[in-house]
């Protein structure tokens, strides 16, 4: 297969995974993220402008580009979880998992019987593997999100559920749930302590700690102990790059600047 090792393979040997996030409903954007060299690229079907019809070619493009395709589903609902996996995702991030029962529901939606209740029908995913069911059990990553005060309180119970591979922190929703703003909370005790609590629980239960971040925050998150770190998102990266180029083009010293010409 063209993609790299699956996330679970990397994590099993103690490795770190750095990922990209897609809001733009485009296989071109998705493949470009993959070809940049990220370990995984996540199709955001919760907050991105991405429905299922757009997600399918994006998942294919990510794999073509040599990265691991995963998706954040809109909600903890077995139908959409199964459809994303049938389309070829190697893992699902599931938002707002607040209790052990909700975590159990995630695992059951991802795994086939006897551990779970996923319906058989991987029309797109199965032809890529000699034995898809065996491959899926060994490689698909179950990744509930820890992003509320309730989930923080229940984190040990959540992570005690067999079959969870990673826990993914949504720092904005977590901070809001703790009474803070959505960003800029590092150094605030209640936020720092929440992250430390989650990492400690992950280590206790042999679950990979993950978090949504940025390139600037990657070093801090790595030092804190996170092993799955999303460091770039396509839409804000594009927007910021375009704004920077426009600023350069408008600069008074434009004529004195060197630089490459465009592709044409």
The catalytic site residues sit at: 47
Q: Let me know: does 19 contact 211? Beta carbons within 8 Å.
A: no
Please state, in angstroms and rounded to a whole number, the distance separating the CA atoms of residues 76 and 2.
30
97's tokens: 């998992």
Strands 68-72 and 17-22, by their bridges, are unpaired
Q: Let me know: does 180 contact 153? Beta carbons within 8 Å.
A: no
Give burial (CB, 10 Å; 0-12/13-18/19+) of 142: buried
Please state, in angstroms and rounded to a whole number, the distance separating the CA atoms of residues 97 and 142.
12
Please state, in angstroms and rounded to a whole number, the distance separating the CA atoms of residues 156 and 161.
9
């Amino acid at each position: 297969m063209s993609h790299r090792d699956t996330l679970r393979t990397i994590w099993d040997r103690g490795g770190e995974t750095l990922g990209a996030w897609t809001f733009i409903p485009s296989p071109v954007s998705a493949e470009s993220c993959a070809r940049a060299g990220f370990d995984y690229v996540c199709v955001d079907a919760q907050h991105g402008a991405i429905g299922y019809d757009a997600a399918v070619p994006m998942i294919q493009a990510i794999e073509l580009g040599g990265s691991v395709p995963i998706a954040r589903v809109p909600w903890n609902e077995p139908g959409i979880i199964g459809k994303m996996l049938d389309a070829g995702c190697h893992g699902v991030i599931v938002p707002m998992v607040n209790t052990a029962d909700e975590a159990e529901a995630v695992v059951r939606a991802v795994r086939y019987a006897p551990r779970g209740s996923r319906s058989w029908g991987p029309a797109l995913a199965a032809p890529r593997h000699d034995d898809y069911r065996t491959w899926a059990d060994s490689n698909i990553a179950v990744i509930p999100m820890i992003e509320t005060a309730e989930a923080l309180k229940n984190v040990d119970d959540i992570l005690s559920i067999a079959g969870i591979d990673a826990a993914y922190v949504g720092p904005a929703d977590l901070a809001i749930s703790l009474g803070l703003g959505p960003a800029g909370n590092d150094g605030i005790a209640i936020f720092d302590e929440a992250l430390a609590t989650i990492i400690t629980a992950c280590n206790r239960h042999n679950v990979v700690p993950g978090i949504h971040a940025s390139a600037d925050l990657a070093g801090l998150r790595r030092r804190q102990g996170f092993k799955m770190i999303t460091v770039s998102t396509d839409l804000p990266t594009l927007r910021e790059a375009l704004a920077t180029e426009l600023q350069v083009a408008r600069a008074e010293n434009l004529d004195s600047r060197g630089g490459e010409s465009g592709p044409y």
